Amino acid sequence: MNMKSLLAIAGITATSVACATVTSQNTLCRIAVNSTAKSIILALPLQTVGGTEMSIKVTDLVMTTNLDEGDSLLAWNATESTWDAWVINSSGNWASATSVSGFDVNTSPAAEETALACGKAVWLNRPDPAEGSRTNARTLPVYLYGQYFTSGASTTVAASGSTFVGPCATTALPINGNGGLTSKKTVGEFADGDQIVVVNTGNTNTGRKTYTYKTGVGFATQSYDTEAHTVSWTATTDTIPVGLGFMYVRKANTGLTFTW
């Protein structure tokens, strides 16, 4: 081999070389959601990998790892006033579902392609072994995968009703206090009696925690003094576990917006 041609004179035109960045433009994030509840509210805190829209398909977001055939996802379709649904099929993949027990499911085939806005939340149902073919214990985490973002998502809570809210956070989010959920409100005012319902453990209602907004206190839990026979409200120091969403029950007849 001609040694000169092996390393031909190179870079003759290069007089200086700028430093290039080869770190990827985007950062991916995996969130392990730990919950033993039969039905949990999953947040949509990440966006489509490689995408720029503040949205993601739930079937891309929720990994099938540790899920079993028959496990289902349900997202409220406000246009159709029904649920868009996906179920783990016998191959272990997400498939569009036309029926899920206990839910009025949208039969539109477009459901599989539906991307939901970051900041929303969906139901994840994992039946008991006796009800389905479950082999994985619900003690194993559910994984969310997507593209990390720092801003640009918001969630609007409907007036006088219930709204699924999915905090866009990659760590547990305090309910009260600086940096917590209450500090994320950018439009509207909390109203006395507003409630946050978080489901984290158990079946049906047993794993639900409800926090009620009390003016001057914040989101609080009630305690009863058995000796003085008095009721008091104490601001909670609880957090919303990472990856979980919650139900916001709005008492006021105006909306509310959280900006993440």
Partner 1 sequence: MKKLSLLIGATAMAAVSFAATPTWVEFSSKGPDKYADGEFVQDGEIYALVWVKAGAEFEGITADGKVVNAETSKLVAGARAKDRHCGTTFFTLAGEDAELASTGSFAVYLLDTRVRATADAEPTVGAVNTDGTVAAVNTYSEVAASVSAGSAANASAPVAGGAVATVLPGNVPQPVVTSIKVAGGKVIVTVADTVPYVQYGISSGDKLDNMEKNELVTGVNGSPDGDITLIVDDPAENRFFKVIRK
Confirm or reject binding of residue 8 to partner 1 (CB under 8 A). yes
125, 130, 132, 133 alpha-carbon torsion, rounded to 10°: 120
Nearer to partner 1, 3 or 130 (CB): 3
Q: Where are the beta strands (DSSP E) in 166-204?
A: 173-174, 185-187, 195-199
Burial of 142 (0-12, 13-18, 19+ CB in 10 A): buried
Residue whose C-alpha is closest to residue 61's, from 25, 114, 108, 133: 114
Q: What is the DSSP string of 52-105?
A: -SSEEEHHHHB--TT--TT-EEEEEETTTTEEEEEEE-TTSSEEE-S-BTTB-B
> How near is the Cβ of 121 to partner 1 at its closest, in Å?
20
Q: Is 107 in the site for partner 1 (CB under 8 A)?
A: no
Q: Under rule CB under 8 A, which residues in 109-168 are in contact with partner 1?
A: 141, 143, 145, 147-148
**Nearest CB to partner 1, comparing residues 21 and 230:** 21
Tokens 């009390």 identify what position? 214
- Please identify, using beta-carbon distances, which residue of 22 and 130 lies nearer to partner 1: 22
Q: Which of 135, 136, 168, 170 binds partner 1 (CB under 8 A)?
A: 170
Query: Which CB sits closer to partner 1, 7 or 228?
Result: 7
Q: Convert residues 48-67 into a mask of x (bound to partner 1 by CB under 8 A) and - (unbound).
A: -xx------------x-x--
* Least distance from partner 1 to the Cβ atom of residue 166, Å: 17
220 part of the interface to partner 1, by CB under 8 A:
no
Total Cβ atoms within 10 A of residue 187: 13
Under a CB-based contact definition with an 8 Å cutoff, are residues 142 and 124 in contact?
yes
d(CA 26, CA 28): 7
Contact residue for partner 1 among 1, 130, 228, 231 (CB under 8 A): 1
Query: What is the contact mask toward partner 1 in residues 10 to 49, using x (rule: CB under 8 A)?
Result: xxxxxxxxxxxxxxxxxxxxxxx----------------x
Give residues in contact with partner 1 (CB under 8 A). Answer: 1, 3-32, 49-50, 63, 65, 141, 143, 145, 147-148, 170
